[in-house]
Amino acid sequence: MRGPQPRTITLIGAPIEGGAGRQGCSMGPKALRIAGLADALSGLGHTVIDRGDVGPRDNDFALDGLAHNVGEVTGFARSLADAGEAALADGTAVYLGGDHALSFGSVAAALRHADRLGKTLHVLWLDAHADFNTPLSSTSGNMHGMPAAFFCGEAGFEGMLECPKMEATRYHLVGARSIDSAEVDLLAARGADVNDMAEVDEYGIAAILRRILGAVEADDALLHVSLDVDFIEPDLAPGVGTTVPGGATVREAHLAMEMVGRCGRLVSLDLVELNPFLDDRGKSARLMVDLAASAFGRRIFDRPTQPA
């Protein structure tokens, strides 16, 4: 059986936590490195380049409405968009989070890259939450709950970051089980592809991913995947500040990432919301590393035995 096609994978750390409501995500990039992300990917035959961590670019940008730490989030977004765009010119980008606000920048980079190639982009959002709030609809003001609304072109983010926007029909949320009422209405109005855990239970993760990846193939599109720790059942991945019971199992998460790997259209991957302060002896970090390896070609029988 053939192994994965070798790629050049650039790791970009984003120690951002200003988008979340609690501290700790800034330690995520280091935890993912300690858990062996680079070795796991290079062991699959890929060339791995670690560019270190980016920092927020100085700015005095502000938004109307309720949004906390706008300057920090905007600064990181602009740095990540430029760093990611450069990485995508050479191959594939993997972003080490940091809270989910890093996706303002990572998806912007993928949209710029797709636009330059004359391609469309689909986004697979593996998350308990939709992250489709705006500063005008959010009740918390936490910007890690807003990036999907931004890159789908919702109002309220004007001037924050320059990039093409995408149709919400190409935003595929899988694993949802905690969505604000304002988001529910907006997602429905825009025709977003929302797949909650009840649908995963009823139809199976494979059927849902097969349909989504079929749409990506039909569009001859590129794919960005954003993997939030809270996609997974919190007993299995406790290192996250936004736990919601009833998440994906380890095998469901691995199957989703294995199918992504087989589709051959992945250009960038977010590993987000890892909070090592809340983790159990690196359990969540190691799982995120294993899931990333699945997205880049590791097969089920290739998995190393984990020491106790």
Point out the catalytic residue in the list 53, 183, 193, 230.
230
Active site residue 68: no
Q: Is 290 a catalytic site residue? A: no
SS3 for 213? helix
Is 230 catalytic? The answer is yes
Q: Which of 46, 113, 129, 172 is catalytic?
A: 129
> Among residues 46, 100, 113, 172, which one is catalytic?
100
Token representation of residue 131: 């992250």
Catalytic residue among 183, 273, 279, 290: 273
Exposure of 296 by Cβ count < 10 A (0-12 exposed, 13-18 middle, 19+ buried)? buried
Q: How is the beta sheet containing 222-228 ordered, strand by strand? A: 47-53, 8-14, 92-97, 266-272, 222-228, 121-126, 171-176, 193-196
- Active site annotation includes 131: yes
The answer to whether 50 touches 133, Cβ cutoff 8 Å, is no
User: Is there a cis peptide before residue 204, judged by omega within 30 degrees of 0?
Assistant: no
- Which of 72, 127, 193, 279 is an active site residue? 127
* DSSP H or E run through 268: strand 266-272
Pairing between strand 92-97 and 47-53?
A: unpaired
Is residue 273 annotated as part of the catalytic site, yes or no?
yes
Name the catalytic one among 85, 131, 252, 270.
131
DSSP 2-50: --PPP-EEEEEEE---TTSSSS-GGGHHHHHHHTTHHHHHHTTT-EEEE
**Catalytic residue of the set 46, 122, 144, 224:** 144
- Please state, in angstroms and rounded to a whole number, the distance separating the CA atoms of residues 55 and 76: 6
Tokens of residue 136, six digits: 């005008």
Per the annotation, the verdict on 193 as an active-site residue is no
Query: Which member of 17, 154, 228, 258 is catalytic?
Result: 228
Q: Based on the residue annotation, tell me whether 100 is a catalytic residue of this protein.
A: yes
Residues taking part in catalysis: 100, 127, 129, 131, 144, 228, 230, 273
